[in-house]
Every structure is written in structure tokens, then in C-alpha cells.
């Protein structure tokens, strides 16, 4: 689902600043591209639509003065990706704030509806939600084996995905068993010994937020784990793992295929 639509008439906020890359992408897909008045330097998709959009810093270090100078009538933040103090500073300056926090695949549908409603056309979310629901039904109907999955998101120290996270739910819905779902913390820090002790059958190495590459895969292939023995340590698209929104249906489809076949980015 990649087609963008135009809203039937201007309604809702007209100058929106998004501090969340996946939400910036969603706003444009839902027909609100002309209203995006500012975005972070990590808001990269869709590139053409964002080429002339002013940048206001990063997700963790936004330039508050630059945001205020753009005169937004709505700033969208995420409880996980952005800092509370930045949201509070904007609110204290009189800027309306929308706080988002999806932690499941189904929660993404609610988020898309909320964004579309804010833009003045709740139905704009319908095709994206329908596609996601179809993927969820397909996933639920699958009866294949559920491999033990380790998805790393950082290195030095290694960090993985715990429970109560969008990425963790995506892996579960896609047919995997997250080996660190029971670990304390939403993004637990791991030692090499931790990885070996869980003996994952699949290791996913997304290219963001940490840019895992072939050299990092080689490090893990040296470990005595099932994923190394079976050639199932795979590089993958980080956006599929962490960007909730209009790409969720496609991400679920691709991660399901990844867990089923073991063919990741750069594999032959």
C-alpha cells in the first residue's frame, strides 16, 4: 500500500511538524503531505515528498526555537522516540501536541485512524487498515513451526527487543518466538553469553537504528548457536522492524517470509 491520496478539502491542523519518521511517512500517505511544515533529519521517506521540508534536528535533539519559528498548529511526538522535556517545552509555548505510542501491530491501525481523523478524513486510513487486517488473518491461519528469534537493535553493548514493543509484537505475529520477550526491560542489554544461552534459531540484524552489516553477521556466525549452524543470521530492513504505520502490512508480510525461508537482505 504505497499510493498517496489527497484530502477532499482543508480541515484540521494545517501546519504539522512530525518528530517521528514513520509518522511523517504516514501523514504523507494519508494525504497530509502539503501540511507537513517540518520534520526531523531522520524522516527520510518518502524522499521526494520531503525534499523541501525544513529539518528541525533529530528525534532526541530537536531545535525547539526552529520548531516555534515554523508556527506549527500541531506537533506529533512518540513516547519512545522523543523526549518528554521537548514535548513539555512545546506545550508550554502553546503548541498543541499529539502523543503517540503504538506497541503492537493492531495498535498501528488505531494510530493511522487517529492521524487520518486529525487530518479531517478518517476514511483515509481505511485501505491501510484493511491491508493490515488481511495480513493479520493470513498470519493467524499459518500453522508452520515458530522459530526462536533474536532481533538485535544495537551493538557494543548488544541490545535486543523485549516485551511490550511494536517490534516484539511484529515478530510474534509473523510467526517467531522472541527469545528475550521475558527479559526485564523493553530493550534489554545482552552479553555474548546471554545470546549463546538462548540458542536462537534465527537472528535478525536490521540496518537501523544500528547499521548492522555483513561484518557484524560474521561475528555472530562464530557463536555456537543454532542460527549460525543453520545459516539463519540475516541482515534485514530496519524500517520493517521498527517503522509502525503505513508500511506495517508489507513489513509483516516480509518478516513472515524471512522467518519462513531464512533469506535476508544481501543473502543469495
What mean pLDDT do residues 32-56 have? 97
Question: Looking at the domain assignment, is residue 40 inside a domain?
Answer: yes
- How confident is the model over 97-120, as pLDDT tens digits? 999 999 999 999 999 999 999 999
- How confident is the model over 2-41, as pLDDT tens digits? 455 555 556 689 999 999 999 999 999 999 999 999 999 9
- Indicate the length of the chain as a whole number: 268
Which one of 134, 161, 193 terminates a domain?
Answer: 134
Residues 155 and 109 in one domain: no
How high is the mean pLDDT of the chain?
A: 93
Give pTM, 2 decimals: 0.89
Domains held by the chain: number: 2
pLDDT band at 263; cut points 50, 70, 90? low
Residues 129 and 149 in one domain: no
Residues 153 and 130 in one domain: no
Residues 167 and 251 in one domain: yes
Residues 111 and 93 in one domain: yes
Residue 155 confidence (pLDDT) above 90:
yes
Task: Report pLDDT for 12.
Answer: 83
CATH of the domain at 73: 3.40.50.1980
Residue 266 confidence (pLDDT) above 80:
no
pLDDT band at 1; cut points 50, 70, 90? very low
Question: Looking at the domain assignment, is residue 21 inside a domain?
Answer: yes
Question: Looking at the domain assignment, is residue 183 inside a domain?
Answer: yes
Residues 26 and 122 in one domain: yes
Q: Report the 3 state secondary structure along the chain.
A: CCCCCCCCCCCCCCCEEECCHHHHHHHHHHHHHHHEEEECCCCCCCHHHHCCCCECECCCCECHHHHHHCCCCEEEEECCCCCHHHHHHHHHCCCCEEEECCCCHHHHHHHHHHHHHHHCCHHHHHHHHHHHHHHHHHHHHCCCCCCEEEEEEECCCEEECCCCCHHHHHHHHCCCEECCCCCCCCCCEECHHHHHHHCCCEEEEECCCCCCCHHHHHHHHCCCCHHHHCCCEEEECHHHHHCCCCCHHHHHHHHHHHHHHCCCECCC
Amino acid at each position: 500500500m504505497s499510493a498517496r491520496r489527497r484530502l477532499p478539502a482543508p480541515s484540521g491542523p494545517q501546519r504539522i511538524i512530525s518528530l517521528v519518521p514513520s509518522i511523517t511517512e504516514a501523514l504523507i500517505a494519508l494525504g497530509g503531505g502539503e501540511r507537513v511544515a517540518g520534520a526531523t533529519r531522520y524522516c527520510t521517506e518518502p524522499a521526494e515528498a520531503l525534499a523541501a521540508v525544513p529539518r528541525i534536528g533529530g528525534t532526541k535533539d530537536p531545535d525547539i526555537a526552529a520548531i516555534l519559528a515554523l508556527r506549527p498548529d500541531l506537533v506529533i511526538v512518540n513516547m519512545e522516540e522523543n523526549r518528554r522535556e521537548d514535548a513539555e517545552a512545546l506545550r508550554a509555548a502553546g503548541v498543541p501536541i499529539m502523543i503517540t505510542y503504538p506497541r503492537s501491530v493492531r495498535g498501528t491501525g488505531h494510530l493511522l485512524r487517529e492521524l487520518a481523523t486529525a487530518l479531517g478524513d478518517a476514511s483515509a486510513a481505511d485501505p491501510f487498515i484493511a491491508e493490515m487486517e488481511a495480513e493479520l488473518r493470513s498470519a493467524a491461519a499459518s500453522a508452520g513451526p515458530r522459530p526462536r528469534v533474536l532481533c538485535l537493535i544495537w551493538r557494543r553493548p548488544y541490545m535486543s527487543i523485549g516485551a511490550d514493543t511494536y517490534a516484539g509484537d511484529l515478530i510474534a505475529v509473523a510467526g517467531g518466538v522472541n527469545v528475550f520477550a521475558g527479559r526485564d526491560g523493553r530493550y534489554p542489554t545482552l552479553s555474548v553469553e546471554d545470546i549463546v544461552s538462548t540458542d536462537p534459531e534465527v537472528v535478525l540484524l536490521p540496518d537501523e537504528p544500528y547499521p548492522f552489516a555483513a561484518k557484524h553477521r560474521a561475528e555472530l556466525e562464530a557463536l555456537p548457536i543454532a542460527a549460525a549452524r543453520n545459516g539463519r543470521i540475516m541482515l534485514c530492513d530496519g524500517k520493517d522492524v521498527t517503522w509502525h504505520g503505513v508500511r506495517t502490512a508489507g513489513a509483516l508480510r516480509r518478516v513472515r517470509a524471512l522467518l519462513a525461508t531464512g533469506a535476508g537482505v544481501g543473502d543469495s
